[in-house]
Amino acid sequence: MLTFAVCILAHAVLAVSLPSPWLVPNLTLVGMAQAITTRPSRWFMVSVLAALSVMGWAIRFAAPIFAGYWLVGAAMRVIIGQWETADVRLQCVLAGVACACVTFGALWLDGLWSWRILGGALVHVAATGCAPLAVHRLLGRRSRVRRAI
């Protein structure tokens, strides 16, 4: 849960520090994926906390944002029940797909579609998909994948 809290805080700091919101990886989703893969039984609480933290700076569409984060948390819980998600590569996929769902859902609600926005959204999704690698490196964790020699 400490990683989750640090990710939420880092997301807020980066969001106000970087010049474009598209350059900021969604570290809230990365922390959420990390917390749910660590303790799947806490998926509901983690999803609600992530949704509330994002709703704190969301200007519009608070209810759909809450529902989106809750649904992403529920989907992560189902996926974790099916596959071994201790591997950081799978966490990257989880974070990237979750970010794509949340980002493109928000763009759809706003009716914002242009090549420039689509390009920014793809950069945002790619940055979020790579962020679990950076979080693992910063925390000094090793992936639990055993490599064949």
**pLDDT class of 70 with cuts at 50, 70, 90:** very high
Instruction: Tell me the pTM.
Output: 0.83
Helix or strand (DSSP H, E) at 29: helix 27-38
Which residues, including other chains, have CB under 8 Å from residue 16's CB and lie 6 or more apart?
none
- Eight-class DSSP state of 111: T
Q: Tell me the pLDDT tens digit for each residue of 94-124.
A: 899 999 998 888 888 778 788 888 999 999 9
* Summary mean pLDDT of the chain: 86
Give CA separation, 68 vs 18, 96, 101, in Å: 25, 15, 8
Q: CA–CA separation, 134 vs 130, rounded Å? A: 7
Task: Please state, in angstroms and rounded to a whole number, the distance separating the CA atoms of residues 116 and 123.
Answer: 11
Segment 43-63, tens digit of pLDDT: 999 999 999 988 887 666 778
